[in-house]
Amino acid sequence: MPTQHVECIWDPEVARVLGRASLAYLAVETSRGPHVTPLLFAATPDRLWFGIGRGTLKARAVAKRPAVGVVVPGENASVAIRGEATLVDRLSAPPAELVRTPLALPAFASRNALEMAAFARDVARRGARPQPLALVSVRIGALDLLDGWPAAAVLGWMAPGGPVALPARWDPVSERARVPADALQRAGGPRAAAACVCIDESEGRGPLAKRGTLLRGHGRATLRGAVASIALEPERVTRWRGFQTQTAAVALADRQAGTSVASSV
């Protein structure tokens, strides 16, 4: 299961993963460490593009700390990216990003047309008032093609240069995530860091079909050949279902009793 460092987003194997993925995971840096969630996305020749709520934690994080990590999942391989994000809806956005929006907007709309229709349907059904979307560009700094690593879960890991996102195999009983060791080492990831694991359990199109869990805390990495085993000590858990999101501290009593905070999802 080798890791291939790729220079171009339109490498045929990378393009195949991007073309088949329905979402991508965006990792941003917050005051509590990395924060990872799945989002709709689009790709242009030298950027990835996301739509995020203007008043969300992610928007505030990107405005303060532009370094981000991205995982685009595939059936048999995933693409891991490290780059720099820009909120393009701001007047202060660099001209290099603003001039790319005429290409990015139709690419995002056409790629996600069915999801956007389902979004409008679910908003009408529930009478929800979602936040206006802000366009975010991600300029790609480093790109890895990770063969044999579909993203059943995604690890967020704080490295000196910013958050790293990697496809992971998550064990909710042992609270361990296994990730490709060479990709973690290449990103400069330390042996201990603020960390999170995102488990997406969505079942279809539209917000009402979306659900998942984000565990946030601290992790310790143990390298075992080609695989790094990350022991996560969760401190906070966020669960989303439909338009509802709840965040709570992980109870010490649950951890002492050996109860997995992710097993009840």
How many helices and strands (H and E) does the chain possess? 7, 15
53 — phi, psi (to 5°)?
-65, 135
The b-or-e profile of 84-98 (16+ CB within 10 A means b, else e) is ebbbbeeeeeeeebe
Cut 0.85: pTM above it:
yes
Q: Give just the sign of the alpha carbon dihedral 68, 42, 74, 232.
A: positive
Rounded Cα distance between 207 and 187, Å, is 33
Residue 259 pLDDT exceeds 70: no
Query: For the ranges 53-57, 145-149, 233-237, 261-265, which has the lowest average pLDDT?
Result: 261-265
Do residues 1 and 149 touch, judged by C-beta distance below 8 A? yes
pLDDT tens column, 192-228: 999 999 999 999 999 999 999 999 999 999 998 999 9
Q: If we measure between CA atoms, which residue out of 182, 184, 181, 179 comes closest to residue 198?
A: 179
- Amino acid of residue 5: H
Helix (H, G, I), strand (E, B) or coil at 147: strand
Range 85-105 average pLDDT: 86
